[in-house]
Amino acid sequence: MKSQTIARQTPSHNNGRSMTSRFVEYMRQLGKDIVRDRYLYLLLIPFVAFFLIFTYKPMYGLQIAFKDYSLFKGITASPWIGFENFRVFFKSPHFIRVLKNTLMINLYGLVFGFPIPIILALLFNEVKNDKFKRVAQTLTYLPHFVSVVVVAGLVVNFLAPTHGMVNHIIEALGGERVYFLIKPEYFRTIFTGMNIWKETGFGAVIYIAALAGVDPQLYEAAVVDGATKWKQMIHVTIPGILPTVTIMLILRIGKMLEVGYEAILLLYQPATYQTADVISTYVYRAAMEQGNYAMATAVELFNAIIAIILVYGANKFSKKFSETSLW
């Protein structure tokens, strides 16, 4: 009986020793890899420090969303109130408006703004004159680097009712001048058009890089089979960049509740709140104008949770119906 007990204990003892030895061997190998690639790890330090300081450390402040936060008491001394800030936001008359506007503006961007960089990249791919191609690419992605303040200023001046170029053209064609920026029905179109002009060229760079990775032999085989340029694009080019398009679409869906507040703040006014007020501008007013940091944090946390759900859902859908996914 005693020998059987010892026999049963021995494998687990050996297994524990084996796991310990494997761990020691792993750590030894890791140490060797760190010493060998020490310069690469040194280059990695600034990026790790950036994310630790500006991404993970601020997460400590998320608890404000569940507190009756006072700037003078600080985070620790402010009393807990649970989900009260979320309930106030959901019952607010602004909730439906900002949620609807955020979704609608992003839907405009998804339907009209997402395909245009792909189309532009496909057009550039067919240009044979390298000099013209480089100049055209540079001109199209330069607006990305222009400050949003400058771009919004251009939009305001172009659409101005008295001296705006658009109204001059309308009047010359026999129409009446329109003050576009106080008309709620025009705001989403103006905002979407501005973003398309600003970001299309830069967005096309990703797809141009993906097109460079398509095997040229596939085009040669298509030519041998008698495929026209159009058929080459349908059967070779688009399938070649489809994984990149899928990944970008998943990331775009994850941002369906995220709209940059800077441009909207520069373009909207109380007359257009019914179509222009979005979650990010509501957060800005709650924090900066009303000093309600707890409410602003709660709204942003709600926004982040929905974004995670959207990314997970889009990734799962893509994984189920295609071979491309983020994870």
* Contact (Cβ atoms closer than 8 angstroms) between residue 189 and residue 267: no
- Please state the pTM of the whole predicted model: 0.79
What is the tens place of the pLDDT at every residue in 103-154? 999 999 999 999 999 999 999 988 888 899 899 999 998 999 999 999 999 9
Given this model, what pLDDT does residue 143 score?
92
What is the tens place of the pLDDT at every residue in 16-70? 557 788 888 888 888 888 888 888 889 989 999 999 999 888 888 889 999 999 8
What six digits make up the tokens of 57?
């450390």
Exposed, middle or buried by CB within 10 Å (0-12, 13-18, 19+), for 10?
exposed
What is the tens place of the pLDDT at every residue in 299-319? 989 888 888 888 888 888 888
CB within 8 A of 109, min separation 6: which ones? 192, 195, 252
Given this model, what pLDDT does residue 16 score?
53
Torsion of CA 177, 182, 183, 185, to 10 degrees: 140
Of 18-32, 88-102, 186-200, give the lowest mean pLDDT range. Answer: 18-32
Q: Is the pLDDT of residue 1 over 70?
A: no
Cα separations in angstroms, 183 against 153, 180, 190, 268, 270: 18, 5, 11, 10, 11
Given this model, what pLDDT does residue 100 score?
92
Q: Which domains does the chain have, with CATH numbers?
A: 2-66 (no CATH), 83-321 (1.10.3720.10)
What is the tens place of the pLDDT at every residue in 195-251? 999 999 999 999 999 998 888 898 889 888 888 888 888 889 998 898 899 889 888
Residue with tokens 């979320």: 86
SS3 of residue 73 by DSSP:
coil
Given this model, what pLDDT does residue 17 score?
58
SS3 of residue 288 by DSSP:
helix
CB atoms within 10 A of CB 282: 24
Closest CA to 156 of 194, 126, 105: 194
Q: Where are the alpha helices (DSSP H) in 142-292?
A: 148-158, 165-172, 184-212, 216-224, 229-232, 238-253, 261-267, 273-276, 279-284
* Contact (Cβ atoms closer than 8 angstroms) between residue 198 and residue 155: no
CB within 8 A of 251, min separation 6: which ones? 311, 326
What's the farthest any 2 CA atoms get from each other in the chain? 107
Q: How far apart are CA 116 and CA 249, in angstroms?
A: 13
